[in-house]
Amino acid sequence: MDNSNDSSSSLSFVSSHLSHGCSNHNVSSSTSNEHGENIEILSLSKLSGSLEKLLIDAEYDYSDAEILVEDIPVGIHRCVLASRSPFFHELFKKGIDGSGKEGKPRYLMSDLVPYGAVGYEAFQVFLYYLYTGRLKASPTEVTMCVDETCIHDACRPAINYALELMYASATFQMKELVLLFQRHLLNFVEKALVEDVIPILMAAFNCHLDQLLSRCIQRVARSDFDNISLEKELPREVVTEIKSLRPQSQPESSPNAREVEPLNEKGIRRIHKALDSDDVELLKLLLNESSVTLDDAYALHYACAYSDSKVVQEVLSLGLANILRRSSRGYTVLHVAARRKDPSILVALLNKGADASDITPDGQTALAICQRLTRRKDYHEKTVQGKESNKDRLCVDVLEREMRRNSMTVIVSVSSQLTAADLHRRLDYLEDRVAFARLFFPAEARVAIENAEADSSSLDASSSALKGPNGHLKEVDLNESLPARTRKLQLRLHALMKTVENGRRFFPHCSEVLDKFLEDDMPDVFVLEKGSEEEQRIKKARFMELKDDVQKAFYKDMAENNHSGFSSSVSSSSSSTRREGLNHRVRKK
């Protein structure tokens, strides 16, 4: 946090004794008194340093319990925590069966702090204070966003980090820390966007911080935050108080923000309830029976904020909502989705014509919104082979590429005059490409597949219908007419090509890596399971080496992308598309 260094000095028991010594220092005091005070200060300093070793020095690891934070076990000494915190004193009196490393008692942070989250970095800072009486400086990787223009005084990572420390301090009953972090959060209330004040308000409500709660309620009451969102995100008693204050407050934006609720409010709420229950069929019935439209209810805005990504795609497929419509606060659906940080929703909206260059009334694009919500730690998190990429980084990458994207999209056309041999070769190539994409880049592949014309379930269904047990396309069924068979293959081809097109558009570097990989004379995915055990072992070892090479190439491309311009991205995509043409060299099966 911004004032952590000041906090360190004010909360340190070493510094408090220094202050005490200075205030009581008298020029006429005896030398013996001064000497005694200096010894006391020195002793406390040494005690603090000795306890610090227990926490940070592996050679002094005599921990007798552990707390699991973000799947990371943190060793603790129960006697230290019990002596410092009434919460831990009561917790450890109850006892717990050994379930951690070497039979040590293990506690889950999610169980200890039920109303809020406490991350690994925040807990380390809190724990350091318990052991040493000093607060460490805040780690920048979790307190700063990835927007280079942000001064990080009220962006979401800074707020979330302060909230994590507040939840830890309040739950574990460290009153001096509660007072300190409440002052920090009070500083955020007037600086932050009203959307970012909501989690502060919830922390104040859950931790019973009356002063902070009152300030947050007043801030929200003055804002144009709509009643539907208030009711969705805040407790009923808080919403009631905010509404009671609003007639006495002046809105911060246009009068339209709080216009009188229309007579068709009941129909709007029914539409929202249908979206809450993921019932698109009910939504269709409501639209047929009522004069309320999706745009009247801002249904697409609501779905992008609160519904599952598949529901958003189904609502989009109805074709009844204006994707460029702005809410009373001036937000497009893409702005709302950027705050949600779901890559599948972002890609679905962009595919339907959402404009990434649209700005909010305060001048933010969807990309800027997403960047200011993303911690540096999450954005720069290393991707592990076969594991999902961080969603926050995926969202930023998708929006960055869309901002650079040329209005002229390279589209791979499918000719209806393809011969049967060409069609099979084309399908073989695309099947392999999607299979390898799922292995190397599972998160990116899933987003591309979900937003293809056929969703992932239909993609998998058509794949199993067209493929035999060996993974290759089935032989032609003699009882099936040729036009019907060709149509089925073309539908499968179209779904695969749409998936690849999404990959090239939103994940060009991953696509380039796949291009390079597929140019080599590589074994088919399904061949890896054939042969003797020794042959399979050798094949799989070679396959893992190749995966490692591909991943290294991906990191290199990502690094270059940070400095590359628009033209290189389009050039890469265009050349890759040409390599995928009908005359592409296909591996022998």
**Average pLDDT for 546-552:** 62
Mean pLDDT check: name the lowest of 168-177, 249-258, 533-542, 568-577: 568-577
What is the spatial distance between Cα 244 and Cα 138, in angstroms, rounded to a whole number? 38
Predicted local confidence at residue 477, as pLDDT: 53
Q: Taking 80 as the threshold, does the pLDDT of residue 364 lie above it? A: yes
- Is this prediction's pTM over 0.95? no
Q: Are the C-beta atoms of residues 339 and 195 closer than 8 Å to each other?
A: yes
558-584 b/e (C-beta count within 10 Å ≥ 16 → b): eeebeeeeeeebbebbeebbeebeeee
What are residue 37's phi and psi, to 5 degrees? -65, -40
Q: Which residue has the tokens 């029976």?
A: 289
pLDDT of 469 over the 60 cut: no
Mean local confidence (pLDDT), 173-177: 95
Q: Residue 436 has what pLDDT?
A: 80
Task: Provide the pLDDT for residue 547.
Answer: 63
Nearest in space to 81 (alpha carbons), one of 107, 60, 99? 107
Residue 2 clears pLDDT 60, i.e. is over it:
no
- Residue 232: pLDDT band with limits 50, 70, 90: very high
Q: What is the mean pLDDT of the chain?
A: 77
Q: What is the mean pLDDT of residues 350-363?
A: 91
Mean pLDDT computed over 84-107:
81
Q: How confident is the model over 549-570, as a mean pLDDT?
A: 50
Distance CA 159, CA 200 (A): 8
Which pLDDT belongs to residue 30? 56
pLDDT band at 128 (very low <50, low <70, confident <90, very high): very high
Question: Average pLDDT, stretch 130-145?
Answer: 92
Q: Identify which has the larger pLDDT, 571 or 307.
A: 307
Backbone phi, psi, residue 67, to 5°: -115, 130
pLDDT at residue 216, rounded to an integer: 97
Q: Report how far Cα 276 is from the mean position of its chain's Cα atoms.
A: 21
What is the structure's pLDDT at 249?
53
pLDDT attached to residue 572: 39
Phi, psi of 105 (to 5 degrees): -60, 140
More confident residue, 41 or 174: 174
pLDDT of residue 15: 39
Cα 19 to Cα 10: distance, rounded to the nearest angstrom: 9
- The model's confidence at residue 272, banded by pLDDT at 50, 70 and 90, is very high
Question: Which pLDDT score, from 0 to 100, does residue 480 have?
Answer: 55
Q: Choose the weakest-confidence range: 396-405, 468-477, 524-533, 541-550.
A: 468-477
Task: Round to whole Å and give the CA distance between 45 and 41.
Answer: 6
Residues 56-66 have a mean pLDDT of 85
Burial of 152 (0-12, 13-18, 19+ CB in 10 A): middle
pLDDT of 1:
42
pLDDT at 131: 93
Among 561, 510, 551, 572, which residue's Cα sits nearest to residue 400? 561
- pLDDT interval class at 545 (50, 70, 90): low
Question: What pLDDT, on the 0 to 100 scale, is given for residue 540?
Answer: 67
Considering 277-281, 509-513, 540-544, the range whose residues carry the highest mean pLDDT is 277-281
Indicate the pLDDT class of residue 256, thresholds 50, 70 and 90: very low
pLDDT at residue 27 greater than cutoff 90: no
Residue 91 pLDDT exceeds 90:
yes
Over 90: is that where the pLDDT of 425 sits? no
pLDDT value at residue 439 = 80
459's enclosing H/E stretch is helix 456-466
Q: Are 440 and 551 in contact (CB under 8 A)?
A: yes
pLDDT band per the 50, 70, 90 thresholds, residue 344: very high
Half-sphere exposure at residue 325, Cβ-oriented, CA atoms within 13 angstroms: 16
CA distance 398 to 379: 13
Higher pLDDT among residues 64 and 576, named by residue: 64
